[in-house]
Structure 1
């Protein structure tokens, strides 16, 4: 009989151990599968309740004053949560805090007259408590606790399992908290970069706007014309540097998204060559092309591939002396098989053999930081390589040495193109695109909301010259009033503004009777891909990054007002 009792006890212990082990294994899988702090806390609470066979558990952190702050709980009343006050000197926690040992109270009546929380525990129906330290780098930072409605003695198996649970939980919670801090730091960095983009791009809008206005004058003094060319060239270079910085951060964080569509590489190569010809002509540099007479269609992101080709041509232009030659070649299989080969060849400065292996590294330039003859940030080729590789392609560079020119080769897979997506179709056209169509004969009423007075004034001037009746506002609230009063054919709005931002502005416009379908363009310095998505989701029909190319803006106005 005694042997049967022992065997029964042993069997129950084994079942208890198996249950605890199963729970701990399940917890390990959950903790390994996620760095989410919320999911980690929930998994630990679930495991504690199962191991201790109770219906309530809690996780708390110590604050700087030594008070326990309840972070996550299950089965506790709102009144208890509000009134509970635990500190490091709480009798049930002293051993836990000072020695890192479990705190076990088999009957809370033992704490009558000793613990200030006795009455709260009693009112909550808690009769027994087990608490364990949560430790990070040798220091107790919190407590894992479970409570029962019954006076009970917690078994060795339960205490051992809870100890293992608390150890795993301490490490997992620490990692999850660090991950949350890292995400928060990344969010702060992204917000900073977005703000930086806005602040750097906004001044370029009036600069480029006035350049366009003055260049349209019939009679222009030669010296003034030369000055305008210098201003325009440097403003565009500033925009390129801003784009490079933002592209690099997006690439590093994996936030660049390709919008693939059926694209003719020949057309893109022609557009890229035409884009640099004016600059090349200023220095008597020949830009030659060797392109197939028929289309070479690939499944790729046209804007990003044009960026690749433009970067390579711009790099060649930078390092080719006056009177030099640049050639753009394209070899492709018109049957949609194999790879397309792009080559950019110049007879310029060339590349030192020792530097050639590092040519595509970030922030790397062949010349030292004090040698600024060629400018730039050392990002263009690094970005180019990343964009090529994102398309499944390869890029390489060759040079026989200094003074012997260089060649860059890009291979891109030629495959069956994917269908055009709605998102891709809504994207902005290339910076180099030209469209002579303008809204000059449409008699449009335009509303421009822009907090920068300089940008607002020049936009009003430019759009007025194209036959538009332009109303302007310096903030969203005034913009809403003007929209209701004048019923514009199209709205152009900034995003970052004092008071209501551009997102809330368009939401209110879309909720205003009579304005629900008014076309709206977000013209903003917030130029990240996610900024474009935010703008479209908020209710804008299009997103343009400052400083917008004038032909692009005019073409977009015409397309939206014609319902195209």
Structure 2
């Protein structure tokens, strides 16, 4: 059966002086619980009628109504059923009504006792847009009162509806009407006069108590919200500070500084994953009462007890990290079973610790550690905050790395563009100039048949010289290409440095205006283990460079002496024992010198110490690049030194000796 009119509408028609108001759900909940507490606290056996809109709302109040049923045998609960509400076993009457019934929109609670009465009669007025998450913002229109007359009229109307829904309750309803004087106006008025003698003190006390409890819960909720808001604000501030820089060093320092401010009583450490785990702590924030670990080698995360969890963290493909939180070191039996670790923790005053990995998209980057000098139970908020900071640090580090890589790539692109420009300009010039000279000489010989013999000879020699220049240029391109592609087959053999130096020097004899060349080699040099052709190529190009950039009045000096492979590094240091010696060869000149910022650049392909348009000597800029490739493949190292411009330069290279020095 369905009733078209609402109880609020019918009640206002009977009692037109009633003025309805708007209530939020939270207010009605407080009122209803206060009225129910009157029943639970009293000794009276009142009539209780409760209307719940939906069965799910009723299920939340079942424990209360089971207690109310212990105080009275006249309890009637109405609701729109969602399961077997009407057939459920309960110590009171349950009355279901159709979901489209007006009562499905209403909230009613009526209590009629011999010494008191109260009622709440409301109909839903408006619901929030998202009623699931903002249930307390639902609004109702209606009345609440402890006026006996209003309560009795409301009880009459509700019992009529109950009788219509459940006729089998007729005898029980009749008894309730007689017991609570609901049958006629005279009895109702007598009951009203008697009830009016009672004040609202008990109800008001119960209501105030309930509202006080609600207020405390509200304050607690506000504190929780405020705490979360402070943490969110702190996290935003830390994230802003961390992400402000693209310098990895600054990011790490800011991270531990901000973390130290958030956990002012903790020692905060940050260290990155290193191939060598024995790395001193460089990033730390420590309160005054704790000793500093900065500069110390710290290996807590490398201890076997932590290795399993951290290994999972390093290899876990998901974004979630393994976090280690220990509230009290002295209560952890695993840690206490390792005396060395126990001593270490006591030395640095660590009673509680938190380890949170720094990760980015599954890549393990490092670790954040927090140490407490006293036992401390790490809360979920603490862990979440440190984990969020670690996440921000991971993102910032990867961005800084990406920026560094981008800068490196930009420099490489600039170098590539410069190389391309040099290649085009230098090769074009070096090819075009000798070809033009050769063509002019040959055309002159063909057209000028009566040219004097000595002039003809000069023309032919000029053409031959430029042809040789072209041959060397093309040979340099081929040589560098074969070296860089690994196509050269090296044949190291024991050879004498003096013999190959003499061959290289003999190639300079055809040149005019050579500077003074001095050879200072020690006597009884042992044989060196190198490829002869490669060594000739290196010596010839270094001597050619020295003579080309040194005036006739200058000097070129060639020296050699033994050094340990450990002194120069390179392949020799990696592949030979510490008893192996290297021969260091130095070719020094008194020429124009090299600026300090170009000592490494000169070994790049097509590099010209002078700008192309300002060059005073020819060349392609491939000679030193070829020398470096050869020396690297022979197991040595080549480098340049110079005090500065116009102060001469020294080119050094090392090559292994044929037999180790015992």
TM range (shorter): 0.3 to 0.5
- When Rg is computed on C-alpha atoms for both structures, the one with the higher figure is 2
TM-score by length of 1: 0.39
TM-score by length of 2: 0.34
Flag the structure with more relative contact order, 1 or 2, with Cα contacts below 8 A and sequence separation at least 6: 1
